[in-house]
Structure 1
Amino acid sequence: MYPITLNLRGRRCLVVGGGAVAERKVQGLLAAEAKVSLVSPDLSPALRELAQAGRIGWQQRAFVPEDAAGAFLIFAATNRPLVQQAVLRAAQEAGALVNVVDMPEACDFQVPAVLRRDGLLLSVATSGASPALAAVLRARLEREIGPEYAVLARLLAALRTPLLKLPLSGPAKKMLFQKMLDSDILQWLRDGRKQRAAAHVEAVFGHLLPVGRILDALPDAPWTDTNP
């Protein structure tokens, strides 16, 4: 397996099935801003609500091979082996990436257990060997990786864009970010000491960048302490 994240924004993705498993696949695709089509004679209440709201397309019938045409990625999420096999063959013929639930050996990709912290995306995969273990590891990450990591990720991204335009060497730029990461900034953010965090950013980058303006443009502003 080769680890990768896919940009599915605006891509047509097909889910075959209408139960709980299909529901999870659809929710993940919607979170990735994919254009979701679903084929199933019936849907779970949650999926039916999404279809009625126009968030997904729904063909209320059995799968036919032509459904795979034009899809970038396909999930076979039914409990019927013959349908699963038919979806697999159609996806392969259409050149689409395919994931067949409960058939890891037939899949082009596996779906990891995912933890989202705003723009931060963490995933754990076991190459299909044990989704339960992946879920346990994800839960551990959720306990250890708090919202302060997302704040730091936004901050670093906002600093990186203008810094890349400066005539500094690659090692010099890397050293600046390392000063950030080697500090206690995560603990300050976790404790609500945003003013202390902002002061450290100013100390590291203030001689190069308009730090105050950059900080004020972030959704985490104002950079004042939130705990007494």
Structure 2
Amino acid sequence: MKNFLPIAINIADQKILIIGGGHSAWSKIKILQRFDANIEVIAREVSEEIKQSGIPYKEKDYEKADLRGYLMFYSCTNNPELDQQIAEDGKEAGVLVNIHDQPDLCQFVSPAIYQDGDIRVAVSSNAKDVFASIRIRNEIKEYLENKIHN
């Protein structure tokens, strides 16, 4: 069983790779765009949303060498065998690994985040129940917005 430490990482100007070009990759990109990260995408096929986002992308098959120079990566391939290989490659390369919807392969998970100015609240369920994390984050958001703005 994984036991994730909730920490905050400065990703400003850090290189983050998204492997995969579909809906789950686009969801990760939208979250990461709120920060000053240097996001890049590689995938066999890249969705129109990603192409139009301005995020640099390469339409190609994944290769182990693709991981060089990144702080972390998110694998959003929806291919369990490929995700397993990517997770092993990432750990070997010393790059932080997140495999979409496969917490046993992850070195980190992304929490549900609420931000108001410099205040950030992150809610995580230790990768057990993302919907509970989102629900609790939304309850905190509602409470704080009522408290701060009223």
- Return the TM-score normalized by structure 2: 0.91
> 1:86 Cα shift?
2.0
1:47 is matched with which residue: 30, 34, 50? 50
Q: Distance in 1 between matches of 2:82 and 2:48?
A: 22
Q: What is the one-letter code of the residue matched to 1:14? A: L
> 1:116 Cα shift?
1.5
Aligned pair count? Answer: 147
> 1:43 Cα shift?
2.0
SS at match of 2:29: helix
Q: Distance in 1 between matches of 2:32 and 2:62?
A: 19
Q: Distance in 2 between matches of 1:65 and 1:12?
A: 16
Match of residue 65 from structure 2: 66
Question: Larger relative contact order (C-alpha < 8 A, sep ≥ 6)?
Answer: 2
Q: RMSD between aligned alpha carbons?
A: 1.5
- 1:138 and 2:137 equivalent? yes
2:24 is matched with which residue: 17, 21, 24? 21
Q: Distance in 1 between matches of 2:17 and 2:6?
A: 22
User: Structure 1 stretches (4+) deviating beyond 4 angstroms?
Assistant: none
Change in Cα spacing, 1:85 to 1:27, as seen in structure 2 (3 Å) is same
Change in Cα spacing, 1:147 to 1:38, as seen in structure 2 (3 Å) is farther
Q: Distance in 2 between matches of 1:126 and 1:24?
A: 19
More strand by share: 2
Match of residue 155 from structure 1: none
| Contact 1:15/1:36, CA 8 A, preserved across alignment | yes
| Contact 2:84/2:105, CA 8 A, preserved across alignment | no
- Return the TM-score normalized by structure 1: 0.61
Structure 1 residue ranges without an equivalent (≥5): 150-189, 192-228
SS at match of 1:82: helix
- 1:126 and 2:125 equivalent? yes
Q: What is the one-letter code of the residue matched to 1:113? A: A
Query: Identity across aligned pairs (percent)?
Result: 22
Structure 2 residue ranges without an equivalent (≥5): none
Q: Distance in 2 between matches of 1:117 and 1:130?
A: 24
> 1:28 Cα shift?
2.0
More helix by share: 1
| Contact 1:116/1:122, CA 8 A, preserved across alignment | yes
Match of residue 100 from structure 2: 101
| Contact 2:20/2:42, CA 8 A, preserved across alignment | yes
